Structure 1
Amino acid sequence: MPRLRPLPTVFLLGLCALGAVVLHHWHVLDRALLGYREWRSSESVRDRNLWLPDYRVEIEAKSIDGLDQELSALAFDPVRRTLYSVTNRNPELIELSLQGKLLRRIPLQGFGDPEAVEYIAPGILVITDERLQRLVKVRIDEHTDLLRAEDFQQLSLAIGLNGNKGFEGLAYDSSEKRLFVAKERDPLRIFEVRGFPHEDTGKPLAVEVLSDPQRDRELFVHDLSSLDFDSGSGNLLALSDESRLLLELDHSGRPISSLSLRGGGRSGLKRSVPQAEGVATDDMGNIYLVSEPNLFYLFRKIVVAQ
């Protein structure tokens, strides 16, 4: 019987290098470590956070009737108890019910590429223009039938302009008056903006923009497509379309829990979410999500026996 020749050292080293690249690209070790921390977490840790592993899908991939454009972003209005989204092909502000029913659509004029919307206060929203990295504060009421960007307060940041890899997500912390802004990728960033929207027009506009590149590099996702701030826990939700993952970030920006958006997992999804573009939570802790092409999802927290 012929002797098997040992594999060349160079070939083995190549295999090891390839394996390392694959593990790094897909963040396999990072996700496994987070899963281990979730498993070992105490009940007190779970209780004081949203704790995404306890969420299960209730409405899955519901088509939004009457809408022929793709939605981007999602925001909850606690006064009207509805959701807002935007479209960018023929720019519109979209209002949905909490069951994913189309309620109204308002044309957006002068918005080149709206990608995110966030509720600030009753009748006040902020909309992003992705490519220009512009934030626009708008006012709406029951009679609003058109929103013109030129009519409203604006802030242009223009941080690392990179085509359509600009501002993809917004979240607002009303207690601290700070707006979180997500840059999609290249590089992926979460900025904290203070001073906008400008509330006291009697005082000079003073805007502060904070970032933490080291923290953002440790987010093991390929992109950011949406953000949401949970006032109950003070944590931030970060949605990644390419990674098919929703992360819960603590006050320091460290991932503490996750929800996979792939089918067949513990969330109860039958099929993977095709292209998650927006996430929002309501004041009851429910999680809403929209995905291209115009699909609506609702996740509720279940009581898990310890």
Structure 2
Amino acid sequence: MRRSIRLPLIVLAVGLLALLLLAAAGQHYRLFERGWFNLKAWWQPTEQGIGLDQYRAVLQGIPVEGLDDDVSALTYDPDRNSLFTVTNQRSELIELSLDGRILRRVPLTGFGDPEAVEYVSTGSYVITDEREQRLIRVRLNDSTRFLDAKDAEQLTLGIGLNGNKGFEGLAYDAVGKRLFVAKERDPMLIYEVHGFPHDNPEQPFAVHVVQDQKRDSRLFVRDLSSLQFDERSGHLLALSDESKLVVELDTKGKPLSTMSLRKGFQGLEQSVPQAEGIAMDDAGTIYLVSEPNLFYVFKKPTEQ
């Protein structure tokens, strides 16, 4: 009799433990929030967003020849019609063609742990030092052979210093003069920095940092690897390596659409192993880099 009672109790305990583990995993990976978003998107599809789910890979997993270091971040330069990325072991600023070929390499000195780069204006870029949470504004022209951080305009924020989980991504709103800065995780945040870079010498240097907690709480991803601001729509794209996802946020921070980076989605033959940088050109084409040196291009069918 005791054995017959004990067995159902053991089964019940195991079942409860499994449910608790499942709930913990769902919370850890933000599966419930993501599932709820997917359900709402299916039930009430929106036509106001970029439509990330419509993008398809036209180039995928192409190795960047001549690069044996980990790439981190990506930005599009409309003046040069090219892309820029950074490496953080042997620190370099690297210019890429739109099909992933190396066009130029510029050594970086004194940048610590460069993790992101963002085009802000002609010949002007911001590079982050992840560990020290520095924003470093550099200027580049055709004769530039190297860049030294001590010669550049710098801003150290030092908000919630957390080792190697600091400033991971950048995006710039040229109209609103806002620099979006992504903190990778623990906690995962997106700051809006106003007043840096400082472009008007006639005005006093004044920096204002804004945080949108409501927007950040809506992000159903595990981490932030990179950001991209779409000037046409005013929407922000957030790339997550751990969630293998790109999320589109509207002007109020509400998620509108997603692009999966897993095998079988968006025409991908294999999952993107470790997505680290995202950029978008004026035509809406999306470019992606993954560690250590893989290159991807995504387009909507009408753009191909």
TM-score, normalization by structure 1: 0.93
* Cα separation, 1, equivalents of 2:302 and 2:103: 32
Identify the residue that residue 100 of structure 1 maps to in structure 2.
Answer: 100
Distance of 1:170 and 1:230 partners within structure 2: 13
CA distance in 2, matches of 1:251, 1:113: 31
Q: How many residues align?
A: 299
Measured against aligned partners, the alpha-carbon deviations of 1:44-63 in whole angstroms (never above 9, x if no partner) come to: x32x3211010000000000
Q: Is the 8 A contact 1:54 1:303 kept in 2?
A: no
Please say if 1:272 is aligned against 2:303.
no
Q: Aligned residue for 2:55?
A: 55
Distance in 1, matches of 2:131 and 2:49, equals: 34
Aligned to 1:152: 152
Q: Measure the CA separation in 1 of the matches of 2:19 and 2:102.
A: 52
For residues 1-306 of structure 1, the aligned pairs below 5 Å read 5-8=7-10, 9-42=12-45, 45-46=46-47, 48-265=48-265, 267-303=266-302
2:288 and 2:297 in contact (8 A); partners too: yes
User: Retained in 1: the 8 A contact 2:118–2:171?
Assistant: yes
Q: Distance in 2 between matches of 1:127 and 1:41?
A: 39
The C-alpha deviation readout for 1:160-208, integer Å capped at 9, x for no partner, is: 1111111000000001000000000111110000000001112211100
Structure 2, unpaired ranges of 5+: none
CA contact (8 A) 2:96 2:104 kept: yes
SS at match of 1:6: helix
Return the offset for 1:11.
4.1
SS in 1 for 2:8: coil
Cα distance in 2, alignment partners of residues 122 and 143 from structure 1 = 15
Give the Å deviation of 1:26: 2.3
Counterpart residue type for residue 62 of structure 1: I
- Structure 1 residue 10, shift from structure 2 partner: 4.2
Output the TM-score relative to the length of structure 2: 0.94
**Distance across 1 between alignment mates of 2:27 and 2:141:** 48
1:270 corresponds to which letter in structure 2? Answer: E
Task: Please state whether the residue corresponding to 2:33 is helix, strand or coil.
Answer: helix
Question: CA contact under 8 A between 2:117 and 2:128: conserved in structure 1?
Answer: yes
The amino acid across from 1:291 in the alignment is S
Match of 1:30, SS? helix
| Distance in 2 (alpha carbons) for counterparts of 1:207 and 1:153 | 13
Report the secondary structure of 2:216's partner residue: helix
Q: Distance in 1 between matches of 2:292 and 2:214?
A: 34
Give me the whole-angstrom Cα distance separating, in 1, the residues matched to 2:14 and 2:116. 48
**Helix, strand or coil for the counterpart of 2:27?**
helix
**Matching residue's letter, 2:76:** F
How far apart in 1 are the matches of 2:231 and 2:290?
24
Kindly report the root-mean-square deviation, in angstroms, between the aligned alpha carbons of the 2 structures: 1.7
